[in-house]
Amino acid sequence: MSETTEGTLLGGKLRYRQFTTGHRSGFEPVLLAAAINAKPGDLILEAGTGAGAALLCLAYRIPNLTAIGLELDPALAALANENFRINGFANLLAIVSDAAHPPFAASFDHILANPPWFDPAGTNSPDPARARAHHAPPDLLNLWITSLTSCLKPDGSMTLILPASSSTQAAAAFAANHYGSLATTPLIPRAGRPAKQLIITASRAGSAANTHLPGLILHDDSGITAAANAILRDGAAMTAAPYPASPNQ
């Protein structure tokens, strides 16, 4: 059994255990959760849930959600369920499943994911779990979007956090699967610098023009910006909704 470390999310508001080796969570799942325009009672699916950080943050912000996380690694799925339990979220569940072959029908209001994105031709980490979590086989992004679409309601949305270099590929995959109203939020390291990552949301029922939102600046000369801290420490939502609410919201 791998050893775990005991930490927190959202400035100590949530307890969070993760393995000492393999993939370890950064700020990405917290920012991803903040971009989900869900409401109480919605049914959420996360692909590649890891130890459950994104679903924990989302459930903290929006009460009475039901959420399922797909995780290929059985040990990580078990750890995610332990994290859900120790934080009192009985409505969250991680199951062992491949995001490329999800075992659900079109029943989810929102889907979120932080897909592996490292170039498979690059140097793999010597840690097999970290390499599996980070390196994307060819066409994985298109495969995930296509496969996960089968789980989404006709008026549902999908939100991904990706490297900025993947924006064109993601937009093409969403278009091929008949999404509209794409909204892109750049994650900007510092003012005046290009975004290295972005959050992109697409709606299955969307008919509005695609939009590029102003973005979130993460750091300034004092450290983490106030806008980023409101999310990372206080659990706030992104200040600009990443997509227009559907008519039944």
Phi, psi of 106 (to 5 degrees): -80, 80
The yes-or-no verdict on residue 128 having pLDDT over 60 is no
pLDDT tens for 190-208 read: 999 999 999 999 999 998 9
Answer for the pair 17, 23: CB distance below 8 angstroms, yes or no.
no
Q: What is the 3-state secondary structure (H, E, C) of 69-126?
A: EEECCHHHHHHHHHHHHHCCCCCEEEEECCCCCCCCCCCEEEEEECCCCECCCCCCCC
Considering only the C-alpha atoms of the chain, give the largest distance between any 2 of them, rounded to a whole number of Å: 50
The yes-or-no verdict on residue 157 having pLDDT over 80 is yes
The yes-or-no verdict on residue 144 having pLDDT over 90 is yes
Answer for the pair 197, 114: CB distance below 8 angstroms, yes or no.
no
**Mean per-residue pLDDT for 9-24?**
92
**Mean per-residue pLDDT for 223-231?**
96
pLDDT band at 139 (very low <50, low <70, confident <90, very high): confident
Q: Which of 24, 1, 22, 21 is nearest to 9 (CA)?
A: 24
Q: Do you know the residue count of the chain? A: 249
Q: Which two tokens stand for residue 63?
A: 């009460």
pLDDT tens for 205-221 read: 998 999 999 899 999 99
Element (H, E) at 151: none
Q: What is the pLDDT of residue 173?
A: 96
Answer for the pair 58, 33: CB distance below 8 angstroms, yes or no.
yes
**What mean pLDDT, rounded, does the chain reach?**
89
Cα separation, 63 vs 60, whole angstroms: 7
The yes-or-no verdict on residue 244 having pLDDT over 60 is no
Provide the 10 A C-beta neighbour count for residue 119. Answer: 11
Signed CA dihedral, 36, 40, 45, 49: sign only: positive
The yes-or-no verdict on residue 119 having pLDDT over 70 is no
The yes-or-no verdict on residue 22 having pLDDT over 90 is no
**Rg of the chain on CA atoms, in Å:** 17
Answer for the pair 3, 19: CB distance below 8 angstroms, yes or no.
yes
Residues 6+ apart with CB under 8 A from 97: 70, 71, 72, 103
Domains and CATH numbers, the chain: 4-232 (3.40.50.150)
